[in-house]
Amino acid sequence: MIETAQLTGRTDHHVTEIFPGHYLHREVVAPYIQLVERAATAGIDLRMASGYRSFERQLAIWNAKVRGEQSVSDEYGRALDLEGLNDLDKVFAILRWSALPGASRHHWGTDIDIWDAAAVPAGYRLQLSPGEYSPEGVFHRLSAWLDTSLAGDQSGFFRPYLVDRGGVAPEPWHLSYRPLADKYQAQIQIDVLRDLLGRADILLKDILLSDLDEIIQRFVQPGY
Ligand SMILES: [Zn+2]
């Protein structure tokens, strides 16, 4: 049984600092380092853009997007204006690219956004955009390497958001350590989430609570 604080990003005692400012679940560190070493043999300098993220951090991202302080993208990665959308459509637009606080896979420490430092010049401004990982993008070699290296492999990593199922947009940079992540995923409880969001200082709270079942169905439990 995993404690709800770990599931929802309200504790960091299950994670450890792997690089300055970057944290992973203790049990994911060794498999991740193995993956980095394998990538290095293919000339790929695998780096973490993001690992563990707390509820508070995800909440800050959420509220900044609702306020328009941080941009929300449309299907093509272009900035989307939330003005004029109804509240539920605002929620859906944000959830395409940003997890619901309390329900991010990054809370678990099992999930990592990755890029290839060998593919870009020093000082490159990472966007984590679909284009970068496409056949024309700077990280196409990384994508191709992951396609072959993760297929039926023993590393334990997979990409939960590789295919668009109409919920979360494809995120070819998002890796998950399945042996552990599946345990977290199986223990998500909607009542815990409803209670947490109800007490949080989160924008669009009313619509999140009234439509939480559909939101969870579309964006949190996609049945990969
Ligand atoms: Zn991610």
CATH classification at residue 43: 3.30.1380.10
If one counts the domains in the chain, the total is 1
Q: Which whole-number Å values give the CA distances from 161 to 5, 125, 158, 169, 214, in the listed order?
A: 24, 22, 9, 7, 18
Residue 224 lies in a domain: no
Residue 110 lies in a domain: yes
Confirm if 38 and 156 have CB atoms less than 8 A apart: no
Between the CA of 16 and the centroid of ligand 1 the distance, in Å, is 18
Confirm if 202 and 208 have CB atoms less than 8 A apart: yes
What's the pLDDT score for residue 71?
A: 87
Per-residue pLDDT of the chain (224 residues; tens, 9 = 90+): 899 999 999 999 999 999 999 999 999 999 999 999 999 999 999 999 999 999 999 999 999 999 999 988 877 778 888 888 999 999 999 999 899 999 999 999 999 999 999 999 999 999 998 899 999 999 999 999 999 999 887 899 999 998 887 888 889 999 999 999 999 999 999 999 999 999 999 999 999 999 999 999 888 875 54
Contact partners, residue 184, CB within 8 Å, separation at least 6 = 2, 6, 7, 105, 108, 110
Between the CA of 168 and the centroid of ligand 1 the distance, in Å, is 11
What's the pLDDT score for residue 222?
A: 57
Between the CA of 172 and the centroid of ligand 1 the distance, in Å, is 9
CA 206 – CA 192 distance, rounded (Å): 16
Contact partners, residue 75, CB within 8 Å, separation at least 6 = 96, 169
Q: Structural domain of residue 96, as residue ranges? A: 4-219
What's the pLDDT score for residue 224?
A: 46
Between the CA of 186 and the centroid of ligand 1 the distance, in Å, is 19
Residue 41 lies in a domain: yes
Q: pTM score, two decimals?
A: 0.94
